[in-house]
Amino acid sequence: MEHSNKHTPHLAHHFGEMEQQRESAKLGMWIFLLTEILLFGGLFAAYAIYRAWNPDMFYNAHKHLNIYLGSINTIVLISSSVTMALSIRSMQLNNKKRTVIFLVATLLMAAVFLVIKYFEYHHKFELGQLPGKYYTYTGIEGTNPHIFFSIYFMMTGLHGIHVIAGMGLITWMLRKTMKNTFSPEYYTPLEMTGLYWHLVDMIWIFLFPLLYLVG
């Protein structure tokens, strides 16, 4: 049976060389991200349709979202993407300590995002601005104001679940980094996690104006 000349520790048996493996991982991850975009796409479509059917109500309802908290969250997520990218860069430069620092920073910012979201949700729960049949708030003009909040909770909820999943991935990468799994020659999982995190950020960048900046 043939063996490759350099038996690199992270090369899977069915790949000929590291480059092939890395390219495959990247291609696979991009396709996966595409499926995530399509998943959210359905919700974006629902948003578009219901906003077209109830333009005034959407405008009135969105005023009850806290634009300041939303903006802070946007900045927080964008920054977390920056720290994520920096952690990968650090590993490319073989700086394990910095990689860990930036990963931790990314995690912290993700946590801040979730905390702010918690406060936003809590406020809505208190007011009765809840999805679907649980909606009891009466202060919004327009037909069926619960629709806006149903869509708001569905979109930010699904996004939030992806943030939590991302935090799990980043924590896993943190552990691997601390165990010296990565090196400038091999940091593919880190890179893939970075791609995923950038997508999570990107989706928020679309969500934010659609929900918080209507009209």
Contact positions vs other proteins (CB under 8 A): 1-2, 12-15, 20, 23-24, 27-28, 31-32, 34-36, 38-43, 45-46, 49-50, 53-54, 131-134, 143-144, 146-147, 150, 154, 158
| Residues written for the chain | 215
Rounded Cα gap, residues 38 and 47, in angstroms: 14
* Complex with other proteins: residue 109 or 163, whichever CB lies closer: 163
Q: For residue 36, give both structure tokens.
A: 């995530």
Q: For residue 125, give both structure tokens.
A: 């729960």
* Complex with other proteins: residue 147 or 190, whichever CB lies closer: 147
* SS3 label, residue 64: coil
Q: What is the DSSP letter of 41?
A: H
Rounded Cα gap, residues 32 and 160, in angstroms: 18
Q: Dihedrals φ, ψ of 143, to 5°?
A: -80, 135
Return the residue matching tokens 């406020």.
123
Rounded Cα gap, residues 194 and 185, in angstroms: 17
* SS3 label, residue 215: coil
- Minimum distance, C-beta of residue 35 to other proteins, in the bound complex (Å): 5
- Minimum distance, C-beta of residue 89 to other proteins, in the bound complex (Å): 26
* Complex with other proteins: residue 38 or 178, whichever CB lies closer: 38
Burial of 52 (0-12, 13-18, 19+ CB in 10 A): exposed
* Complex with other proteins: residue 45 or 93, whichever CB lies closer: 45
Of the chain, the end-to-end C-alpha distance in Å amounts to 67
- Minimum distance, C-beta of residue 52 to other proteins, in the bound complex (Å): 12
* Complex with other proteins: residue 19 or 97, whichever CB lies closer: 19
- Minimum distance, C-beta of residue 101 to other proteins, in the bound complex (Å): 30
Q: Among 170, 174, 198, 185, which Cα is nearest to 21's?
A: 185
- Minimum distance, C-beta of residue 81 to other proteins, in the bound complex (Å): 23
* Complex with other proteins: residue 117 or 146, whichever CB lies closer: 146
- Minimum distance, C-beta of residue 132 to other proteins, in the bound complex (Å): 4
